[in-house]
Amino acid sequence: MMRLQETKKRHSAAGTFVLLGISMGLLVMVGWCVARMDVPLGQLPTQHYLDTVRQGSYFTLANLAEASLRTTTRLFIGLIWSLLFSIIFGVLAARCKPARHVILPLVNLLESVPLLGFLTFTTAWFMGLFPNNVLGVEAVATFGVFTAQAWNIMLSLYQSLRVTPHELLEVTDQFGCNQWQRFWRLELPYATPGILWNVVISQSAAWFALVACEQASVAVPRTETFILPGIGSYLQIALDRSNFGAVLSAVAAMVICVLVVNVLIFQPLIKATANYKYGTSSAESFSPQSAIYDLLKGAKLPSDSQRLGRSIRTWWLFTLPQTWIMRQITRTIRRLKRLATLWTILWYGVLTGLITWLAVFLAGYLDWPKWQTLLDWTLLTTGRVVLAVIMSAVIFIPLAIWVASTPTRLSRMQPIGQVVGSIPSDVYVPIVVVIIAVTGSSHQWWVLPLIMTGTQWYFFFNVIAGYLAIPNDIHEVTHVFHLTGWRWWIQFLIPSIFPYLITAIINAAGAAWNADIAAELITWGTKTYAISGLGAYVAKNVDNKPAEATGVLIICGMVGLCVIFVWQPLYRFAERRFHY
């Protein structure tokens, strides 16, 4: 008995030490990086300076270590903003029908807007917020991370809110929970597993954005490209100089960062959220393993911290809603909801006016002389995007089911998938160039694989989240009815994970357009390989804003057609037919 108590004490002490270590490590890293952000812009190296003065001294271990810390901090800051955005607009879209008609089409559209399109119109604005300060360039990079994460996290939360089981909602009504308490005590915990898996995907997608966002071009007074310390900029400089050793070093640093964050943060969270699964079986039967979580579970916080946590929880769940009720905020919201028809009419009226104004403006700004060629390129690129999404689904849906079906396999494969998914398509360019040089191939075979590097992991992680969310009672029903083979897939699995599949398809389609721009035109040092397509047209015209805007607008138009005729009907179908 004494030995058991001693073991528990040691376990508790180790857990407390790990918790303090992770917390202090994050605070020190973020504090150190933020302190280095608020400095004059002139302290950043420029592309011209690196090309002339520091050609041989940039690729050092010290620079790579600083780059790793700065990039990791940007990822966390972007994630915080993405979660805030997702909670606000995801709940608004789920609760308010007029807002839903505005938010969902805009999010579907923005998700497919190429990153270059965002940077074209936001870089100058962010730099103006913090004139002659590194914070302006940091804001550009953080916004790039935000655009890579926010949309799919918000869509995951929205989808979960729309398919929350009715019997659980009835339980909250019986306990007298208001809308605020129902969200924080039921709906958010129910949606947390899906959100967490989308956060994992988002971290992978953010690495793609950082390669482009950790550099900013501004006129000061001549056009200069400022380089932020970060793994993305380090990797891009290595690619520009054909330095294969530096590329490998950047990838190694990226893998280490992903693994550390995964082991210390994501795996414990995934293990913890297994308790939120809807069903009657214990979490231990299906959740992945995490040694850090097992240690943290035994950690003991000081009594003052525990009392402070309880006080904050009581204020957040009970006192704050009462304040809103006293100020009649809830009643005001109900009155606004009754004007749903008026808000819908106003929205479509404003939208019609904006489209008319935009059409008049763009008619004189855009580069239209090649409209027939652009139409051909649009059809080619759309075909590549659709084919890449289909191939990703066919390959990675069965793979995700195979991984998620065994807890041990999931614990081993999830970090591998996260690491491989974090590698930007630019890293594969040297391999592609070598194969082209050796084989003399001119069949443009590299396009689909490079596009798939940006799409396949949305299927992998969303399907895993959907499979883990299936109640064990439903699994047992399939054994009773002896469902196997194609009947198991068609009659059980696809309907069970259908909302997650819709989220995966929408996110993958949006990512495919961004990946296509990088895939249709690849460079390695002085060598450039391009094929005909809308993505190559946008990539070639980065310095020609009217032409670039034309390509981006065409992509937005294609996405808009998908929103109207594909995504919105699929959303309604999933909400009506597939939920527990």
pLDDT in tens, 320-338: 777 665 555 556 666 656 6
Q: Where is 191: in which H helix or E strand?
A: helix 188-213
Q: In a 3-state reduction of DSSP, which class is residue 229?
A: coil
Per-residue confidence in pLDDT tens, the chain, 580 aa: 556 566 666 667 777 888 888 888 888 988 888 888 888 887 887 777 776 665 557 788 888 899 899 999 999 999 999 999 999 999 988 888 777 877 887 887 777 677 766 776 677 788 888 888 888 888 888 898 898 888 889 988 998 888 888 888 888 888 888 888 888 888 898 888 888 888 887 877 788 777 777 765 554 445 667 788 888 888 888 877 878 888 888 888 988 888 888 888 888 888 888 777 666 554 444 556 778 888 888 777 777 777 888 888 888 877 777 766 555 555 666 665 666 667 667 767 776 777 677 666 666 656 555 677 888 888 888 899 999 999 999 999 999 999 988 888 887 887 788 778 777 776 777 777 777 766 666 567 778 888 888 888 889 988 988 888 787 778 778 878 887 888 888 888 888 888 888 888 887 887 888 788 878 887 776 677 778 888 888 877 766 767 777 777 788 778 777 777 777 787 777 767 766 5
Token digits of residue 480: 């009773």
Q: ω before 221 within 30° of 0 (cis)?
A: yes
Residue 24 CA to residue 507 CA, distance in Å, equals 35
Token representation of residue 349: 């009226």
Helix, strand counts (H, E) of the chain = 28, 4
* DSSP state at residue 424: -
CA 478 to each of CA 212, 245, 466: distance values in angstroms, whole numbers, following the listed order: 47, 52, 17
Q: What is the pLDDT of residue 283?
A: 45
Contacts of 102 (CB under 8 A, 6+ apart): 347
Torsion of Cα atoms, 45 then 51 then 52 then 53, to 10° = 40
Report in angstroms the alpha-carbon separations of 453 from 71, 369, 441, 460, 550.
Answer: 21, 33, 21, 12, 26
Query: Tokens representing 182?
Result: 């129902």
User: Within 10 Å of residue 319's Cβ, how many Cβ atoms?
Assistant: 10
Q: What pLDDT, on the 0 to 100 scale, is given for residue 221?
A: 44
How far is it, in rounded angstroms, from Cα 86 to Cα 80? 10
pTM tops 0.85 = no
Decide: 283 and 277 in contact? Cβ < 8 Å. Answer: yes
Torsion of CA 361, 367, 371, 374, to 10 degrees: -120
Residue 19: both structure tokens together: 């918790």
Q: What pLDDT sits at residue 219?
A: 47
- Rounded Cα distance, 97 and 380, in Å: 36
The pLDDT tens digits for 127-181 are 888 888 888 888 888 898 898 888 889 988 998 888 888 888 888 888 888 888 8
Burial of 30 (0-12, 13-18, 19+ CB in 10 A): middle
Predicted pLDDT at 483? 79
Phi-psi region of 44 (alpha: psi -120 to 50; beta: other; left: phi over 0): beta
Q: What is the 3-state secondary structure (H, E, C) of 326-347?
A: HCCHHHHHHHHHHCHHHHHHHH
Contacts 24+ apart (CB under 8 A), 218-227: 218/123, 218/124, 218/127, 220/41, 224/46, 224/47, 224/48, 225/46, 225/47, 225/48, 226/41, 226/44, 226/45, 226/46, 226/137, 227/44, 227/45, 227/46, 227/47, 227/50
CA 436 remoteness from chain centre: 32
Instruction: Decide: helix, strand or coil at residue 187.
Output: helix
pLDDT of residue 422: 74
Predicted pLDDT at 395:
93
Cβ–Cβ < 8 Å for 136, 220: no
- Between the CA of residue 477 and those of 257, 278, 398, 481, 483, what are the distances in Å? 42, 15, 21, 6, 9
Burial class (CB in 10 A: 0-12, 13-18, 19+), 341: exposed
Cα atoms in the Cβ-side hemisphere of radius 13 Å centred on 332: 6
Find out whether 473 and 280 touch, Cβ atoms under 8 Å. yes
Q: State pLDDT tens for residues 433-459.
A: 777 766 666 567 778 888 888 888 889
- What tokens were used for 188? 């958010």
| Neighbour-count burial for 510-520, b at 16+ CB within 10 Å, e otherwise | bbbbbbbbbbb
CA distance 562 to 382: 11
Contact status, residue 192 vs residue 86, Cβ threshold 8 Å:
no
In whole angstroms, give the CA distance from residue 553 to residue 543.
Answer: 16
Helix axes 456-469, 371-404, angle to 10 degrees: 40
